[in-house]
Amino acid sequence: MKLDNDQLQRFHTEGFLYLPGRFSLAESRILLEEAHKVYQLDRPEIVHEASGVARTAFAAHTYNDAFGRLGAHPRLIEPVVQILGEEVYMHQYKVNAKAAFDGEVWQWHQDFGTWHRDDQMPEPRAMNIAVYLDDVTAANGPLLFIPGSHMDGTLPAGHDIETTSYPLWTLDRATVTRLATAGGIEAPVGKAGSVVLFHGNLVHASPPNISPFGRTIVYLSLCAVSNHIRRYKRAEYIAHRDFRPITPLADDCLSELAA
Ligand code: SIN
Ligand code: MN
């Protein structure tokens, strides 16, 4: 699945690209069922909210077959290789739950800020590609992006280890105000099966989920192979050390699971 020139242009200007309906409902349902099974596992990779519900499942591609296949899906790998101009490896993989009623905030941040400070990833030649497994709406804690904020480079950030159960390098209010006043804030809401790609320096956040509906999203954080991390401070299941390039599977690698 190659991106066309208009899509590439939009990605470079806005710092993200929303691609509705890239996976069928059948494909996203297979993965959603697996996500609910994964959240029940008693493993260190499953991080919980203060309330006890699952917040995220790290590295699910390493212990779940369906998520393993998604981690090498050509509809996700090929556009990122196209943008980065090099083969990619999996730096991080997570399935975020944002559970009904209990899913908590993700503060304003840039992912590359964390990858650089904690993992010594040299350059922002890495990015997220996310797949919605539930419908994402205004009510269930959608991703919020500040368009164009990736142009500002890597911004000063403070290490927030208190607000949620997961530590994050977050931006201060003055920085977010300046950037959002210039670029606005967009929420790419849409149906299960939709995909969103975003630049490692794009400023983003998500509010708590006040609704009775879950908001499960899978994130592949893909990094150019030559730009691999240099420091192994965080757990292997959070910042991976297998720098081998991903070979994409066949396009029907998920749908064949339903057969
Ligand atoms: C993230 O920014 O890494 C996750 C945000 C979310 O899932 O809402
Ligand atoms: Mn993030």
Domain ranges of the chain: 5-258
Poorest-confidence range of 79-93, 163-177, 200-214? Answer: 163-177
**Minimal-distance CA residue to ligand 1 atom 3:** 111
- Where are any strands of DSSP class E within 78-208? 88-96, 106-109, 126-132, 144-145, 158-160, 168-170, 195-199, 204-206
Helices of type H across 167-226: 173-183
For the beta carbon of residue 182, count every other beta carbon within 10 angstroms: 13
Residue 49 has pLDDT above 90, yes or no: yes
**Minimal-distance CA residue to ligand 1 atom 4:** 106
CA of residue 37 to ligand 2 center, whole Å = 24
For residue 174, the model assigns a pLDDT of 96
Of 47, 93, 110, 204, best ligand 1 pocket probe by most atoms within 8 Å of the beta carbon: 204
Contact 257, 123 (CB under 8 A): no
Residue 101 has pLDDT above 80, yes or no: yes
Atom of ligand 1 nearest to the CA of 130: 7
Residue 184 has pLDDT above 80, yes or no: yes
For residue 160, the model assigns a pLDDT of 87
For residue 167, the model assigns a pLDDT of 83
Helices of type H across 40-148: 65-70, 74-84, 111-119
Query: Cβ-count burial of 120 within 10 angstroms (0-12 exposed, 13-18 middle, 19+ buried)?
Result: middle
Q: pLDDT-derived band of residue 163, with 50, 70 and 90 as boundaries?
A: confident
Give per-residue pLDDT as tens, 208-243.
999 999 999 999 999 999 999 999 999 999 999 999
Contact 49, 163 (CB under 8 A): no
Atom of ligand 1 nearest to the CA of 128: 3
Residues 6+ apart with CB under 8 A from 227: 121, 122, 123, 125, 126
CATH number of 5-258: 2.60.120.620
* Segment 33-58 mean pLDDT: 97
Using only the alpha carbons of the chain, give its radius of gyration.
17
For ligand 1, which residues put their CB under 6 angstroms from it? Answer: 96, 98, 106, 143, 204, 206, 217
* Residue 211 to residue 256: CA distance in whole angstroms: 33
> What mean pLDDT value characterizes the chain?
97
CA of residue 219 to ligand 2 center, whole Å = 9
CA of residue 40 to ligand 2 center, whole Å = 24
Q: How many CA atoms lie within 13 A of 83 on its CB side?
A: 27
Residue 165 has pLDDT above 90, yes or no: no
For residue 166, the model assigns a pLDDT of 81
Of 106, 198, 218, 238, best ligand 1 pocket probe by most atoms within 8 Å of the beta carbon: 106
